[in-house]
């Protein structure tokens, strides 16, 4: 599954009400999102019902960086609840 024309076949996880995609850490040099060619350091959250449809979270060494920390925290909480079965 893909969310944009830049990448094909992004790793994808579907949650209740939103989708999560991973982008390769080498950008378009891994346009087919082949895990043999690179890792994935950008998490993209897509929520069609949100005013801001896309939220990007980039791994930078030991921490996560995003322009929307409060909104992204809410998605992480929802993901954890789903994964834990709550």
**CA distance readout (Å), 20 to 13, 86:** 5, 19
* CB neighbour list of residue 40: distance below 8 Å, 6 or more residues apart: 11, 22, 23, 24, 25, 33
Say whether pLDDT at 9 is over 70: yes
What's the pLDDT band for 8 if we cut at 50, 70, 90? confident
Give yes or no for residue 5 having a pLDDT over 90.
no
Query: What tokens were used for 49?
Result: 């019902």
- Give residue-wise pLDDT tens across range 41-86: 899 999 988 877 888 899 888 888 998 888 899 999 999 888 888 6
Q: Residue 20: is its pLDDT beyond 90?
A: yes
Beta pairing, strands 40-46 & 54-60 = antiparallel
Domain boundaries, the chain: 12-84
Secondary structure of residue 12 in the 3-state scheme:
strand
Distance CA 4, CA 85 (A): 30
């Amino acid at each position: 599954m893909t969310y944009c024309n830049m990448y094909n076949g992004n790793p994808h996880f579907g949650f209740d009400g939103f989708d999560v995609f991973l982008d390769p850490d080498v950008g378009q040099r891994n346009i087919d999102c082949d895990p043999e060619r690179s890792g994935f350091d950008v998490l993209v959250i897509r929520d069609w019902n949100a005013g801001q449809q896309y939220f990007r979270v980039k791994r930078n060494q030991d921490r996560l960086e995003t322009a929307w920390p409060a909104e992204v925290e809410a998605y992480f909480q929802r993901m954890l609840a789903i994964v834990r079965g709550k």
